[in-house]
């Protein structure tokens, strides 16, 4: 797999993929879950259509097991937990509009289980520094350019250092947002019984059925 920008330019570094799962819809659209295996350098683009075909060179992996790399990996893992914990806390403070108390309680219980599962993910403690650096990079899936930049770094410690900086900036952003919300969007007083009855009478199921 290679990143291709909006101008059709092919990135110089890509990764081989292992397909873990896929779903084919009747429309022909396919949803694929995959895992990166080996990085490679594109030596030559053979053709772009109907699919991209390239001549590539597999790159050696920097499996840094030094004490410095392990310490940096532990810092990145802690930052990831803190960012995720604050993100989930802010998400909980904004319940889904139109959700009933019962559904909110059920969702909160499910989200709590999911939160514990992610915060205590085995990958955060069991992966090597190199493997963790790629696992953390997956968290930036909303920003392909950031992911590509991390993929192109050859050294594990360089990748972890960049991820540490990204997570620190993200943590500062969420902390500031949470502080502002606490000042300007403080908790509202609980609704009266009359207001609850009015809200219940006006509550309608969303179009297309429940989520």
Higher pLDDT among residues 113 and 118, named by residue = 118
Instruction: Answer for the pair 54, 2: CB distance below 8 angstroms, yes or no.
Output: yes
- For residue range 118-141, what is the model confidence (pLDDT) as tens digits? 677 888 999 999 999 999 998 888
Give strand pairing partners of 45. 54
Q: Domain ranges for the chain, please list them.
A: 2-58, 67-185
Give 17's contacts (C-beta < 8 A, 6+ positions apart). 1, 34, 35, 36, 37
Look at residue 75 and tell me whether its pLDDT is greater than 70.
Answer: yes
């Amino acid at each position: 797999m290679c990143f291709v920008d909006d101008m059709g330019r092919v990135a110089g570094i890509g990764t081989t993929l292992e397909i873990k799962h896929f779903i084919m819809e009747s429309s022909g659209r396919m949803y694929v879950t995959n895992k990166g295996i080996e990085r490679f350098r594109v030596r030559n683009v053979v053709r772009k259509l109907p699919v991209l075909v390239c001549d590539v060179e597999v790159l050696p992996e920097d499996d840094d097991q030094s004490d410095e790399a392990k310490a940096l990996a532990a810092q990145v893992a802690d930052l990831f937990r803190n960012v995720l914990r604050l993100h989930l806390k802010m998400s909980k403070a904004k319940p889904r509009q139109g959700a009933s108390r019962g559904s909110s309680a059920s969702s909160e219980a499910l989200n709590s289980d999911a939160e514990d599962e992610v915060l205590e993910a085995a990958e955060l403690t069991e992966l090597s520094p190199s493997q963790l650096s790629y696992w953390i990079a997956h968290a930036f899936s909303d920003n392909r350019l950031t992911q590509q930049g991390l993929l192109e770094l050859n050294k594990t410690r360089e990748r972890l250092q960049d991820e540490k900086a990204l997570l620190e900036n993200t943590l500062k952003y969420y902390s500031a947002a949470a502080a502002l919300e606490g000042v300007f969007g403080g908790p509202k007083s609980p609704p009266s019984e009359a207001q609850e009855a009015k809200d219940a009478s006006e509550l309608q199921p969303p179009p297309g059925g429940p989520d």
